[in-house]
């Protein structure tokens, strides 16, 4: 069957409308921006090869596209896997809309993505305490950023988007943060006293505007938050890779280590799937200390 072209199957305007309606599922999020970039690159590749991005794509096309991503664009395995995953989701919607009958990405063998278990996923308890102290000694804004992410599990983009009005919501006798989080889902998070004090110090009598400000008075961004975390980590003597997301991972790991039930940690971290919570915990805790090899060696005993 010859490949469909952009001009013979679905008018270009309709194609754009379909893609935009697909992207609206992640309205305003970083996920939406990443998926938009993935689809833009794919549509450009399809146009160069005379293939309709929806109705004209078959599995071999996607395998050729993966080779293009690897050899010409220099994309790494995680990026290629994600970009094919974006297309797979798009085709599932196209099936539901009766534009195609099967998902051409379903049997595509994506590149294997291995996780470096030595990569830092979470800070230790002692490192977290040192980081919080370093942030406290830095500025009220730095301190509030670290405790909001590390004690509440708030994503860096969510923390940067907080306004003062989001921080004084009272619900069921708890002072809470209320905001729209990832995927457009409303979030309501209680503030422990240590977080309340940090937030009040940042507000400092203000009534409107962004909660976290940069030194020039503008709203803090993801990039500036990353610099804050790295600077405070250096002051705390913490080595290795660290980013704002490390604090969210630490929130998951230490919530479970503190005795919080796994299901409650999942809800608190706002993970849609509990497997995400488990994966972060397994990567973040000291697996070598609890490996079965220790128990089995003691069980069998030593020859000498």
**Residue that terminates a domain, selected from 81, 96, 111:** 96
In a domain, 193, yes or no: yes
> Would you state the pLDDT for residue 287?
56
> Would you state the pLDDT for residue 4?
39
Number of domains the chain is built from: 2
In a domain, 116, yes or no: no
In a domain, 272, yes or no: yes
User: Does residue 25 or residue 133 have the better pLDDT?
Assistant: 133
Tens of pLDDT, residues 61-105: 999 999 999 999 999 998 999 999 999 999 999 999 888 999 999
In a domain, 135, yes or no: yes
Residues 250, 151, single domain; the answer is: yes
Residues 137, 246, single domain; the answer is: yes
| Average pLDDT, integer, range 261-277 | 85
| Average pLDDT, integer, range 26-40 | 86
Distance (Å, whole) CA 264 – CA 262: 5
Residue 159 has pLDDT above 90, yes or no: yes
Residues 92, 132, single domain; the answer is: no
**Residue that terminates a domain, selected from 78, 96, 114:** 96
| Average pLDDT, integer, range 177-198 | 89
Residues 135, 267, single domain; the answer is: yes
Q: What is the mean pLDDT of the chain?
A: 86
> Would you state the pLDDT for residue 7?
36
Residues 84, 142, single domain; the answer is: no
In a domain, 119, yes or no: no
Residues 231, 89, single domain; the answer is: no
| Average pLDDT, integer, range 185-192 | 90
Which residue range is the domain that position 165 belongs to? 125-289
Residue 187 has pLDDT above 60, yes or no: yes
188-208 b/e (C-beta count within 10 Å ≥ 16 → b): ebbbeeebeebbbebbeeeee
**Residue that terminates a domain, selected from 75, 96, 117:** 96
Distance (Å, whole) CA 134 – CA 156: 19
> Would you state the pLDDT for residue 12?
55
Q: What pTM did the predictor assign?
A: 0.66
In a domain, 104, yes or no: no
> Would you state the pLDDT for residue 284?
58
Q: Which residues contact 207 (CB under 8 A, 6 or more apart)?
A: 164
Residues 45, 188, single domain; the answer is: no
Q: Which residues contact 51 (CB under 8 A, 6 or more apart)?
A: 3, 4, 5, 57, 61
| Average pLDDT, integer, range 154-178 | 92
User: Does residue 116 or residue 260 have the better pLDDT?
Assistant: 260
Helix (H/G/I), strand (E/B), else coil: 151: helix
In a domain, 221, yes or no: yes
In a domain, 5, yes or no: no
Backbone angles phi, psi at 112, to 5 degrees: -70, 130
Residues 130, 76, single domain; the answer is: no
Residue 54 has pLDDT above 60, yes or no: yes
Residues 137, 90, single domain; the answer is: no
Residues 232, 191, single domain; the answer is: yes
Residues 171, 25, single domain; the answer is: no
User: Which range among 20-24, 114-118, 231-235, 295-299 shows the weakest confidence by mean pLDDT?
Assistant: 114-118
CATH number at residue 209: 1.10.443.10
Residues 191, 255, single domain; the answer is: yes
pLDDT confidence tier of residue 184, bands split at 50, 70 and 90: confident
């Amino acid at each position: 069957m010859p490949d469909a072209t952009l001009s013979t199957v679905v008018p270009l305007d309709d194609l754009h409308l379909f893609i935009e309606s697909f992207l609206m599922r992640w309205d305003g999020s970083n996920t939406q921006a990443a998926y938009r970039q993935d689809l833009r690159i794919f549509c450009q590749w399809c146009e160069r090869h005379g293939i309709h991005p929806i109705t004209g794509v078959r599995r071999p096309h996607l395998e050729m596209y993966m080779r293009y991503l690897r050899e010409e664009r220099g994309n790494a395995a995680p990026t290629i896997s994600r970009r094919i995953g974006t297309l797979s989701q798009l085709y599932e919607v196209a099936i539901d809309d009766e534009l195609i009958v099967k998902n051409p990405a379903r049997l595509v063998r994506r590149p294997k993505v291995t996780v470096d278990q030595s990569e830092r996923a979470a800070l230790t308890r002692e490192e977290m305490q040192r980081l919080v102290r370093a942030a406290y000694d830095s500025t009220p804004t730095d301190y509030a950023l670290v405790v909001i992410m590390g004690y509440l599990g708030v994503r860096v983009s969510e923390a940067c988007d907080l306004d003062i009005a989001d921080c004084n919501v009272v619900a069921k006798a708890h002072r809470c943060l209320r905001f729209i989080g990832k995927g457009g889902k409303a979030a309501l998070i209680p503030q422990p006293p240590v977080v309340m004090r940090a937030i009040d110090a940042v507000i400092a009598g203000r009534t409107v505007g962004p909660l976290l400000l940069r030194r020039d008075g503008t709203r803090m961004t993801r990039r500036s938050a990353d610099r804050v975390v790295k600077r405070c980590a250096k002051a705390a003597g913490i080595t290795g890779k660290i980013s704002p997301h490390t604090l969210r991972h630490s929130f998951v790991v230490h919530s479970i280590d503190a005795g919080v039930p796994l299901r409650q940690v999942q809800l608190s971290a706002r993970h849609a799937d509990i497997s995400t919570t488990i994966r972060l915990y397994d990567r973040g805790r000291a697996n070598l200390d609890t490996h079965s090899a220790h128990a089995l060696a003691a069980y069998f005993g030593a020859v000498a």
